[in-house]
Amino acid sequence: MPAFTSRPLNKPPLHRRLKKYPGLFGIPFLLVMVGASFGLQTFTQTRYDLHNQKVTQMNREQELGLNKNRKRFDVREEYFKLSAGNQEEWEPRRIERPKGLPEWGVAPAQPSPTVPDVIVNPGTTNVNR
């Protein structure tokens, strides 16, 4: 026989009560589960209320008639409108340059840095590549 037994002689009083009355553990657990479902119901209801509010805002904009007389945009239709116009009435005009921007043909004030050219024969291989 071992010197120390694995089971204590006296069980705690809570263990004895739970063994005798299992409802002491089960009933509070069920109450918490049912209460949590009712508590979470308010959060889910606010979610659906906000979604419904967004949908009704779109319906109000449609009631105001913002999308009432809009036409779909068609590139071909715009092309034919522009090509049907009289093109001889307009003339090309030059837009003024911003200040500080040089005219065409004028060299910049500072020369750009140049890269030295390296000549490599096509028949030879370059070991530095």
Gap between the Cα atoms of 7 and 29, Å rounded: 28
Confidence of residue 22 (pLDDT cuts 50, 70, 90): confident
pLDDT tens column, 63-106: 677 666 777 889 999 988 888 877 777 788 888 888 877 777 66
Mean pLDDT, the chain, whole residue set: 77
**5, pLDDT greater than 60:** yes
- Stated pTM of the model: 0.32
Contact indicator for 103, 97 with CB cutoff of 8 Å: yes
Structure tokens belonging to residue 127 = 């070991």
Q: Transcribe 34-70 into DSSP letters.
A: HHHHHHHHHHHHHHHHHHHHHHHHHHHHHHHTTTSSP
Gap between the Cα atoms of 25 and 17, Å rounded: 10
Gap between the Cα atoms of 49 and 43, Å rounded: 10
**DSSP alpha helices (H): ranges in 1-129?**
13-20, 23-64, 75-84
Q: Where are the domains of the chain?
A: 13-81
Q: What is the pLDDT of residue 123?
A: 60
